[in-house]
Amino acid sequence: MASITAVGYFVLRKQRDRYKSRITNAEEFLDKLVAYVESSGRNHEAYEWMVRRGPKLQADMGQFGLMHHQPPFQQIVIRDWPIVVNSLEQMNRWSTYISVREQQAPQFYQYADCTRDAILRYLGYLEAEESTFAGPNNPLVWFRYGIRTLLLLPVDVLTSFGFNRFPQKSALLTSGAVRTATAAVSAVSFAANIVTIVAGKDAIAAIANFFNGLLTLAK
């Protein structure tokens, strides 16, 4: 039981640290975006910083970083348009109308607003998920997550060998079947430990022998 609890503790801690890291990265990117927009596209240092880190943020954002996009002055709609990497390119393009031609370029600010809103939605999701994994320091919670991790271990092993015909792990973790199995295994494990403490190992052995006898009769 202690080992399972330890597994659950480290799983929760790893997940919490992962979300904290992503929150920090997204907030830092948002700060650079604000600095770039406030300079009307003249802050080349901020732009280059975002270009280097944009693909990583785009990949982390998943569906939060995609949208249906209709380019200005065109009649086509692009599905699943990557917001961060493409908006940066468009902002750089439209910033020339401001800095070089000294013309108004509302498209520059529209792409900036689009990127900011997408990152804010992503940050809201991260903060909600991080609070879930930053729950109370309760060993029973750690034990439950340890059981859940062990139940999903076969999926992790098969996925590592290239079998990808499984739902995403986050979906599996929240599925009703996994939650029910986790609750059942946790209850049985917890009850077994209580019986061991109260009745001692001899009583457990007697119970095991009893069930073995029933299985022998059934054969």
Amino acid 195: pLDDT: 46
pLDDT (tens digit per residue) in 28-46: 999 999 999 999 889 999 9
Highest-confidence segment of 79-93, 97-111, 160-174: 79-93
**What 8-state DSSP symbol labels residue 65?**
G
- pTM value is 0.67
What's the whole-number mean pLDDT along residues 103-109? 80
Distance CA 109, CA 14 (A): 38
Amino acid 144: pLDDT: 75
Q: In terms of DSSP H, where are the helices of 78-175?
A: 83-99, 106-133, 139-151, 153-160, 169-173
Is residue 42 helix, strand or coil?
A: coil
Q: Indicate if the alpha-carbon torsion angle 21, 27, 31, 36 is positive or negative.
A: positive
Amino acid 52: pLDDT: 97
Distance CA 50, CA 208 (A): 63
Q: Of the ranges 39-53, 110-124, 132-146, 179-193, which one carries the lowest mean pLDDT score? A: 179-193
What's the whole-number mean pLDDT along residues 70-98? 88
Between 112 and 151, name the one with better pLDDT.
112
Share of the chain above pLDDT 90, in %: 37
CB 185 within 8 A of CB 151: yes
Amino acid 15: pLDDT: 83
Q: Is pLDDT at 26 greater than 90 in this prediction?
A: yes
Amino acid 188: pLDDT: 47
Distance CA 139, CA 144 (A): 9
Q: Quick one: residue 168, left, alpha or beta (phi over 0 = left, psi -120 to 50 = alpha)?
A: beta
Closest among 184, 187, 157, 183 to 169, alpha carbons compared: 157
pLDDT (tens digit per residue) in 171-203: 444 455 545 554 554 454 554 455 444 545 555
Distance CA 172, CA 179 (A): 9
What's the whole-number mean pLDDT along residues 74-103? 84
If one counts every other C-beta atom within 10 angstroms of the C-beta of residue 140, the result is: 12
Mean pLDDT rounded to a whole number for the chain: 77
| Helix 139-151 / helix 2-38 crossing angle, nearest 10 deg | 90
